[in-house]
Structure 1
Amino acid sequence: MRPPEHRRHPMNKRALVETIAAKTGLDTASAEAALEAVVGAISDALANGDKVIVPGFGTFEVRDRSARAGRNPQTGEAIQIAASKAPAFKPAAALKQAVASS
């Protein structure tokens, strides 16, 4: 099986699984299990407050967002937005270069 042709729309999970299977020689069930394991490991690490560094790809981390003032767009009323934590991704230089040169 060869990888799907270049698309102008977002790659969905099925297409990603097919690409992984084609590039690794795994069957699609094994490729899907591998993808689920990677996503699960990253999610678990972030939930524990850990940083995940994938050399050549980037860094996944949790960033703190401070409390801030905002406005309700329907009424214009001032509201207070609570502090929160948000997942973030910082691409590696190699990934930035690959995207810029494509």
Structure 2
Amino acid sequence: MTKADIVNEITKKTGIDKVTALNTIEAFMDVVKDSLVNDENVYLRGFGSFIVKKRAQKTARNISKNTTIIIPEHNIPAFKPSKTFTEAVKKHNK
């Protein structure tokens, strides 16, 4: 499902126009991105959490040059679905 598909579904279910739905989705994504950039998690009860995970420093290999490089510690965004969301997906796939 793409962003356009989500906008279409929201307009069908709520009756608001596509421009308003698109602006709302864009604003939501901006708020989530800004929160994660500022190292703040976003919790949506019944849906899941957008969290910042910290990755430790590690050693990797560049196979083509046969050298070792160090990848520094860094943060990555992640999504953790809620228990009810996970259970609903599991039940649907059975």
Do Structure 1 and Structure 2 share a fold, with TM-score over 0.5?
A: yes
Distance 1:73 1:24, change over 3 A: farther
Counterpart residue number, 2:85: 95
Shift of 1:74: 2.9
RMSD of the alignment, in Å? 1.2
Whole-angstrom distance in 1 between the partners of 2:14 and 2:44: 18
Whole-angstrom distance in 2 between the partners of 1:20 and 1:91: 21
Shift of 1:77: 2.3
Bigger proportion of residues as helix: 2
**Aligned residue pairs: how many?**
92
1:48 has 2:16 as partner: no
1:21 has 2:11 as partner: yes
Shift of 1:13: 1.2
Whole-angstrom distance in 1 between the partners of 2:67 and 2:9: 48
Whole-angstrom distance in 2 between the partners of 1:80 and 1:89: 26
1:70 has 2:60 as partner: yes
Query: CA-to-partner distance for each residue in 1:13-53, whole Å, 9 max, x for gaps?
Result: 11111112112211111110110111111111111111100
Which stretch shifts more, 84-93 or 16-25? Answer: 16-25
Q: TM-score, normalised by structure 2?
A: 0.89
Counterpart residue number, 2:22: 32
Which sections of structure 2, spanning at least 5 residues, go unmatched?
none
Identical-pair percentage: 35
